[in-house]
Amino acid sequence: MPARDPFYIATPIFYVNDVPHIGHAYTEVSADALARWHRQGGDDTWLLTGTDEHGEKILRTARANGVTPKEWTDRLVESAWTPLLETVDIANDDFIRTTDERHETAVSRFIQKLYDDGHIYAGEYEGYYCVGCEEYKQKDELVEPTEGEFAGQLVCAIHSRPVEILKEKNYFFRMSAFQDRLLDLYSRPDFIQPESVRNEIVSFVRQGLSDLSISRSSFDWGIRVPWDESHVIYVWVDALLNYISAIGYGTDDENFARRWPAVQLVGKDIARFHAVIWPAMLMAADLPVPKRVFGHGWLLVGGEKMSKSKLTGIAPHQITDTFGSDAFRYYFLRAITFGQDGSFSWEDLSARYQAELANGFGNLASRVTAMITRYREGRIPDVSTVELAEADGAILATIERVNAAADQAIERLALGDALAAIWELVDELNGYITEQEPWALSKDEANAERLDAVLATAARGVGALAVLLSPFTPKASAKLWAALGGEGTVQESDIRDALNWRGSGQVTPLESPLFPRIEVEAASAPGAA
């Protein structure tokens, strides 16, 4: 096997003005499943996530709560944002906070370099600013409601709140100088995905790029501009640099060279920052641009982006408390086509939990481990000298086929397609057991060899499922792996060769179902509309 490229994937870093909702958890889970897949394939993998803690939005929230911004961010990170990782079972390799010293040092160094190299100049700016977006807006990005609380005012289309007029002396980054190089970059078809996001960005840049205001002087909650202490660095510039500050930009060249560039997963609302401003900043610093920027869709409530400010947020634990983290992960990755918007519903979650996880995968795992225990005292039969039937061979072929299909889907970041491919094996194995009727074969000693072949084939398939599903449903996979007597941990079993998983051959029945029956009626689930 040729060595594969290292795989560095980063989520956006999250604003800590409020607690997480399932939209944030969705970004985390997507990145984590991709990272887990690569890690289990033996790739040199790194998953970074973290928190975005500077800027006016956080400052105002802290003030409104009567604490300093640092007290506020410490409190939120500890009580809400790091616990989220456990709630949805994220195996991140690092967690960066923009208030970390390592980050602040790297940001100062980067900005100073751009300044020294002539990419930054002083100027004055007047414009509409949305504190929710932490962004200057053009007039055509604003709406003017005719009724309601903000009637007659200019309101941000995303946050539905009035923008403010700001006039400040600012430092500017000569972003306009990079317009042609950015357009060239976009001709690389996989740089921005999906197509819809790419088209939007290309037409935005074609309209002409302005220079970017990269400092603020009306408040001081941020990283100081190194050559002018009366300014702090614009929060987006500060935040984007987390992707390189965390891997040793300026301090650990070896690690930086090993990891960078990253695959960047972002919500489509912030794709522009990542596909325009960020590569332009990197080009100015003579650093490689990200490998790709993927803008995933939104979780919608009532047709609108779920958001805390609009009070439509559902906390991730509201789902995991009842269904568990595996089901959370599975549901969002399976039910929503990655790259498109999707609506969450308790009914849909319950239905998929029951049909696909409990009855599909869970029941299959229980049946196979129970039958091997019952008919063969827990030994997976050795069938190396037995001639397999066509149906057995078909299962083995399916394992290889879906394994390759899932791996290709992961390369395309098509998480739902990967799960759909793996589910072909779930369904085929369930059909195989129904057709082969091991319980009937067990009644007559003359069928012993045939029963051996069926049980061994089923065990092979179920073990392959434990391996292939481990990035998506890590807890259930680990439980099944233990019951199958798998060697080491399931994460150590090569995900690109699930057919040839290894174990002791000794099976123990599952003590409890992988996905237990849930008594709560979907309609009365917490937070149900």
Catalytic site positions: 21, 24, 130, 133, 156, 159, 305, 308
Task: Kindly list the distances between the CA atom of residue 344 and the CA atoms of 80, 246, 296, 297, 332, in Å, as whole numbers in the listed order.
Answer: 22, 33, 15, 12, 8
For residue 291, report the phi and psi dihedrals to the nearest 5 degrees: -65, -45
H or E stretch covering 170 = strand 164-173
Cβ nearer to ligand MSP, comparing 240 with 490: 240
CB-based closest residue to ligand MSP: 267
**What DSSP string describes 129-146?**
EETTTTEEE-GGGEE--S
Residues 454-493 that bind ligand MSP (CB under 6 A): none
Our finding on whether 342 is near ligand MSP (CB under 6 A) is no
Cβ nearer to ligand MSP, comparing 20 with 486: 20
According to DSSP, residue 527 is labeled T
d(CA 8, CA 63): 36
CB of 197 to ligand MSP, least distance (A): 12
* Member of 24, 231, 329, 376 binding ligand MSP (CB under 6 A): 24
* Member of 27, 49, 350, 398 binding ligand MSP (CB under 6 A): 27
d(CA 200, CA 515): 41
Our finding on whether 28 is near ligand MSP (CB under 6 A) is no
Our finding on whether 496 is near ligand MSP (CB under 6 A) is no
Between strands 228-233 and 292-296, the pairing is: unpaired
Our finding on whether 415 is near ligand MSP (CB under 6 A) is no
E strand intervals along 53-119 = 94-97
**216: burial class by Cβ within 10 Å (0-12, 13-18, 19+)?**
buried
Judged by CB under 6 A, which stretch of 113-121, 267-275, 353-361, 394-402 contacts ligand MSP?
Answer: 267-275
Our finding on whether 23 is near ligand MSP (CB under 6 A) is yes
d(CA 453, CA 345): 42
* Residues 134 and 98 sit within 8 Å (Cβ to Cβ): no
Our finding on whether 26 is near ligand MSP (CB under 6 A) is yes
CB of 90 to ligand MSP, least distance (A): 14
Q: Vertex 315, ends 20 and 26: CA angle to 5°?
A: 65
| Radius of gyration over every alpha carbon of the chain, rounded to an integer in angstroms | 26
CB of 77 to ligand MSP, least distance (A): 13
Our finding on whether 238 is near ligand MSP (CB under 6 A) is no
Our finding on whether 267 is near ligand MSP (CB under 6 A) is yes
Cβ nearer to ligand MSP, comparing 243 with 423: 243
d(CA 60, CA 66): 10
CB of 412 to ligand MSP, least distance (A): 19
H or E stretch covering 58 = helix 56-64
CB of 219 to ligand MSP, least distance (A): 17
CB of 391 to ligand MSP, least distance (A): 43
* Residues 467 and 42 sit within 8 Å (Cβ to Cβ): no
Q: Residue holding tokens 């995968």? A: 361
Tell me, by CB under 6 A, how many residues bind ligand MSP.
Answer: 19
* Member of 59, 77, 240, 293 binding ligand MSP (CB under 6 A): 240
* Residues 20 and 14 sit within 8 Å (Cβ to Cβ): yes
d(CA 76, CA 70): 10
Our finding on whether 294 is near ligand MSP (CB under 6 A) is no
Task: Kindly list the distances between the CA atom of residue 492 and the CA atoms of 62, 111, 489, in Å, as whole numbers in the listed order.
Answer: 44, 41, 5
Our finding on whether 365 is near ligand MSP (CB under 6 A) is no
Residues 46-75 that bind ligand MSP (CB under 6 A): 52
Our finding on whether 239 is near ligand MSP (CB under 6 A) is yes
Our finding on whether 12 is near ligand MSP (CB under 6 A) is yes
Judged by CB under 6 A, which stretch of 110-118, 123-131, 299-307, 343-351 contacts ligand MSP?
Answer: 299-307
* Member of 7, 8, 14, 95 binding ligand MSP (CB under 6 A): 14
CB of 113 to ligand MSP, least distance (A): 19
Our finding on whether 262 is near ligand MSP (CB under 6 A) is no
Our finding on whether 214 is near ligand MSP (CB under 6 A) is no
The site for ligand MSP (CB under 6 A) is made up of 12-15, 23-24, 26-27, 52, 239-240, 266-267, 269-270, 298-299, 305-306
